[in-house]
């Protein structure tokens, strides 16, 4: 059972949506049973996404909220590095592509 079904939500009225204390949407469900779950870090950056179709992805961030790592349910990943000004200086992905952007 989904969260909306467990709580006997009336989907005729509206979709079922939950938010965290910071106002970030953490859960969405519609009348077809499709759902999306999201998690956030303390800076409000989305760190995890998952849906009822089996897709998911994770993100990691540096102290400036730049995405430093991404991976998904297909096994694809990306890594990033940034300088102190927030400029991307390195990129690499699971397909073997590497880019150095030091200027």
For residues 72-99, average pLDDT: 96
For residues 12-41, average pLDDT: 95
Does residue 50 lie within any of the structural domains? no
Q: What is the pLDDT of residue 101?
A: 82
Q: What is the pLDDT of residue 5?
A: 87
Q: What is the pLDDT of residue 64?
A: 95
Residues 37, 59: one domain?
no
Residues 35, 68: one domain?
no
DSSP string across the chain: --HHHHTT--TTT--EEEE-TTS-EEEEE-TTS-EEEEEE-TTS-EEEEEETTS-EEEEEE-TT--EEEEEETTS-EEEEEE-TTS-EEEEEETTS-EEE---
Q: Considering the entire predicted model, what is its pTM? A: 0.86
Domain that holds residue 75: 55-103
Does residue 49 lie within any of the structural domains? no
Does residue 48 lie within any of the structural domains? no
Does residue 89 lie within any of the structural domains? yes
Q: What is the pLDDT of residue 1?
A: 84
């Amino acid at each position: 059972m989904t969260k909306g079904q467990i709580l006997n939500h009336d989907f005729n009225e509206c979709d079922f949506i939950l938010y965290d204390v910071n106002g970030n949407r953490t859960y969405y469900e519609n009348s077809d049973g499709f759902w999306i779950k999201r998690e956030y870090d303390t800076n409000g950056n989305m760190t995890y996404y998952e849906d009822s179709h089996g897709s998911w992805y994770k993100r990691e961030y540096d102290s400036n909220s730049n995405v430093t790592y991404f991976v998904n349910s297909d096994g694809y990943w990306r890594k990033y590095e940034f300088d102190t000004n927030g400029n991307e200086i390195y990129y690499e992905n699971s397909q073997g592509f590497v880019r150095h952007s030091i200027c």
